[in-house]
């Protein structure tokens, strides 16, 4: 079979990833896109693109008939499902083949067998693969707690809940079923014993249609939030230190693949303990998000192998060995300090300094960027908030960690709150560098500390001073008269000039400064010397215990958003007007919508007494449920929404009058 045109039944980063390999192989590409994705980079990069009317996944990327019609209309002869959406849907794979198209994935029967995690575990047990016992939710008792509820038809953390109290089981089951139905179209869930401090180890397998089955290498993906992976690496530090564990893992993975007659790329996931014992979790019958780290340590292009296997070609005669170390982090538009609250809005700029490759295997130590967004992209509420995958490759694990942390700290990420600071702190944490990573990493080491800003309070204030001086330079440059004069120039002493900013981290700042014959004078700072100030950058010398140090700050503006980047760390502030419009003021105790979404449930009514942290309502956005809780104990004075209502970001959902206000 010859593949000449591939439609990717997906969006964003994974669509761009598949397209990149197709271009290197001389294969034409076809994109599909929802209305929300009309201006997405993956649409612009494809040779042809077909619109899927609507926004939500259920209207677009989950519509089997629309995807196949798009492929036929564009002249595609093969479909690659990417990951998520329909990638593990046996009905979709079957429909693709019945339409006379090449399915770039495993056999339909293999997807069916692994599609139900309930049945998959029974099959793996019979094949001799170690498994954890499955529990019937109706029979869960206090003795077996905690348990993990999991969606049978999917992954990625959707439909997952940890239950520690029997009284919470029913409500958590309902919530997990709703999420599973929304994400995968199947509400089936099951339970298993929850291991608090397990290690998540997975094996990449690749099999052809001629009987060859490779266990390509293992990855460790133990650092997770909400059961979704955040940091992934290859090889696994746990496997590296336990004699014989890699061989046992590879044997179990090959047994799993052979038991279902697997073909193509897949991943067998295990939960391991510190002794090296492991248990089968699931088999993902698709390419994984974290596949780049395996590509880096093997030199393989896994998408290329997928295409070759789908075309009927055998795997190469020799399987490559491992080389060096690779670490991947998922850069999300979310606020870890606020219960991982997802963000939506524009990405004004995304620049990872030192990135030497994009969607390609690095042959020298460096940083690779696989991203679904570019400068000017919009992050909406309909899909996962992952912006990019940033991947380092080096000879050693320590070097890979330091390289990646440095690139992330120096990155210019303008427009949205992200988990960048958390990622850098994880990569530099002594426990991570020692290889002590398990699924309780955030709980063990404190999410509050790990999500704290990279920049210190004093350095943030200095950065805001630079923003004020840059703003003054921008005002002078825009002036029609006297543009060449120093800002605030007087021939007599004058009052300081003042500019006000608000930081999401530290609140409001008023910068008061004067430019005098003797130089720059800033309230609260002694000895600052201004070297240069332009609309785009400011250079200062700063006194210290051991002498003066020159600092350069780069400044960018997007409306009232001001970003300041320097080696001290990134800062983003809102420039406040001199006079605040009363209409813009929000009452104390107001609960604002953190993103556009739909109110799916109410937890209290107006007039109720509420406790701090008590759920007031639940908002559904980005395929997950988000709890909006009372900020303090008091009275729910206002409730401005009803179940089923759509709300915009910033809308006042409710107002809680605290006990102090009362």
**What pLDDT does 135 receive?**
81
Class of domain 457-576: alpha beta
Which of the residue ranges 18-22, 184-188, 194-198, 584-588 has the most confident prediction, judged by mean pLDDT? Answer: 18-22
The β-bridge partners of 652 are: 592
pLDDT in tens, 366-401: 999 999 999 999 998 888 899 999 999 999 999 999
pLDDT the model gives residue 579: 65
> What mean pLDDT do residues 606-623 have?
88
Q: What phi, psi does 555 have (nearest 5°)?
A: -120, 140
**Which CATH code, of 3.30.56.10, 3.30.470.20, 3.40.50.300, 1.10.10.10, is assigned to 331-427?**
3.30.470.20
What is the assigned CATH class of domain 5-104? alpha beta
Q: Which of 2.40.37.10, 3.65.10.10, 2.40.50.100, 1.10.10.10 is the CATH number of 586-658?
A: 2.40.50.100
Lowest mean pLDDT among 396-400, 415-419, 574-578: 574-578
- Residue with the two structure tokens 């709703």: 178
How far apart CA 538 and CA 530 sit, in angstroms, is: 8
Burial string for 435-457 (b: 16+ CB within 10 Å, else e) reads ebbbbebbeebebeebbbbbbee
pLDDT at 119: 84
Of 459-473, 481-495, 587-601, which gets the smallest average pLDDT? 481-495
Mean of per-residue pLDDT scores for the chain: 92
As a whole number of angstroms, the distance between CA 505 and CA 287 comes to 38
pLDDT band at 363 (very low <50, low <70, confident <90, very high): very high
Q: Is 631:592 a contact under the CB 8 Å cutoff?
A: no
Instruction: Express each pLDDT in 300-323 by its tens digit.
Output: 999 999 999 999 999 999 999 999
pLDDT digits (tens, 9 = 90+) for 509-559: 999 999 888 889 999 999 999 999 999 999 999 998 889 999 999 999 999
Domain spans of the chain?
5-104, 129-193, 331-427, 457-576, 586-658
pLDDT of residue 578: 76
Angstrom distance (rounded) from CA 603 to CA 620: 14
pLDDT bracket for residue 580 (50, 70, 90): low
pLDDT band at 26 (very low <50, low <70, confident <90, very high): very high
DSSP 613: T
Per-residue confidence at 450, pLDDT binned at 50, 70, 90?
Answer: very high
Residue that wins the pLDDT comparison between 376 and 597: 376
Tell me how far apart the alpha carbons of residues 281 and 19 are, in angstroms, rounded to a whole number: 31
Per-residue pLDDT of 122-181, as tens digits, reads 899 999 999 987 787 877 888 888 888 888 776 666 778 889 888 888 889 888 888 888
pLDDT at 237 over 90: yes
Superfamily, domain 129-193 = ATP-grasp fold, A domain (3.30.1490.20)
Q: What is the DSSP string of 18-56?
A: HHHHHHHHT-EEEEEE-GGGTT-HHHHHSSEEEE-SSSS
Q: What is the pLDDT of residue 186?
A: 82
């Amino acid at each position: 079979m010859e593949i000449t045109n591939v439609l990717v039944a997906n969006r964003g980063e994974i669509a761009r990833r598949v397209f990149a390999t197709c271009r290197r192989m001389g294969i034409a590409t076809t994109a599909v896109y929802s209305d929300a994705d009309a201006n997405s980079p993956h649409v612009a990069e494809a040779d042809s693109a077909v619109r899927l009317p609507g926004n939500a996944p259920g209207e677009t990327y989950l519509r089997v008939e629309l995807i196949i019609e798009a492929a036929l209309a564009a002249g595609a002869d093969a479909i690659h499902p990417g990951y998520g959406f329909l990638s593990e849907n046996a009905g979709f794979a079957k429909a693709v083949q019945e339409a006379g198209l090449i399915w770039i994935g495993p056999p339909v029967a293999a997807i069916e067998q692994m599609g139900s995690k309930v049945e998959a575990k029974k099959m793996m047990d019979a094949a001799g693969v170690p498994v954890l016992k499955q529990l019937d939710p109706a029979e869960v008792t206090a003795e077996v707690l905690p348990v993990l509820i999991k969606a049978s038809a999917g992954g990625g953390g959707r439909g997952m809940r940890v239950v520690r109290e029997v009284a919470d089981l029913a409500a958590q089951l309902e919530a997990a079923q709703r999420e599973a139905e929304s994400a995968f179209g199947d509400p089936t869930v099951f339970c298993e014993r929850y291991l608090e401090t397990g290690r998540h180890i997975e094996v990449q397998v690749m099999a052809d249609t001629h009987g060859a089955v490779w266990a390509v290498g293992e990855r460790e993906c133990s650092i997770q939030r909400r059961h979704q992976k955040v940091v992934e690496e290859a090889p696994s530090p746990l496997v590296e230190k336990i004699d014989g564990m890699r061989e046992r893992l590879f044997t179990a993975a090959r047994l799993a693949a052979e038991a279902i007659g697997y073909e193509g790329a897949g991943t067998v996931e295990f939960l391991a303990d510190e002794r090296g014992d492991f248990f089968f979790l699931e088999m993902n019958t698709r390419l994984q998000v974290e596949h780049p780290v395996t590509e880096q340590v093997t030199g393989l292009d896994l998408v290329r192998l997928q295409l070759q296997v789908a075309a009927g070609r055998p795997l190469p005669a020799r399987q490559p060995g491992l080389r060096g170390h690779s670490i991947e982090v998922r850069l999300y538009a979310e606020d870890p300090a606020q219960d991982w609250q997802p963000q939506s809005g524009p990405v004004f700029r995304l620049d990872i300094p030192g990135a030497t490759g994009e969607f390609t295997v690095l042959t020298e130590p460096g940083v690779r960027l696989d991203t679904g967004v570019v400068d000017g992209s919009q992050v909406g509420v309909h899909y996962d908030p992952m912006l990019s995958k940033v991947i380092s490759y080096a000879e050693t694990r320590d070097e890979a960690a330091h390289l990646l942390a440095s690139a992330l700290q120096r990155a210019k990420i303008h427009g949205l709150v992200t988990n960048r600071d958390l990622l850098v702190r994880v990569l530099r944490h002594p426990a991570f560098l020692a290889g002590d990573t398990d699924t309780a990493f955030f709980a063990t080491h404190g999410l509050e500390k790990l999500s704290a800003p990279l920049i210190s309070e004093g350095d943030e204030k200095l950065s805001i001073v630079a923003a004020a001086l840059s703003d003054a330079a921008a005002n002078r440059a825009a002036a029609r008269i006297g543009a060449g004069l120093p800002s605030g120039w007087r021939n007599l002493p004058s009052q300081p000039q003042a500019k006000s900013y608000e930081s999401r981290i530290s609140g409001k700042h008023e910068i008061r400064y004067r430019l005098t014959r003797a130089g720059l004078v800033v309230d609260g700072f002694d000895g600052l010397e201004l070297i240069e100030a332009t609309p785009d950058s400011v250079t200062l010398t700063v006194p210290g215990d051991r002498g003066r140090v020159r600092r350069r700050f780069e400044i960018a503006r997007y409306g009232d958003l001001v970003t300041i980047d320097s080696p001290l760390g990134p800062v983003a502030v809102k420039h406040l007007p001199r006079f605040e419009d009363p209409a813009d003021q929000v009452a104390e105790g107001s609960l604002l919508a953190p993103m556009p979404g739909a109110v799916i449930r109410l937890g209290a009514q107006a007039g109720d007494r509420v406790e701090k942290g008590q759920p007031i309502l639940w908002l559904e956005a980005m395929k997950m449920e988000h709890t909006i809780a009372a900020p303090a104990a008091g009275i729910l004075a206002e409730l401005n929404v009803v179940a089923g209502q759509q709300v915009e970001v910033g809308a006042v959902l409710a107002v809680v009058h605290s006990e102090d206000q009362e």
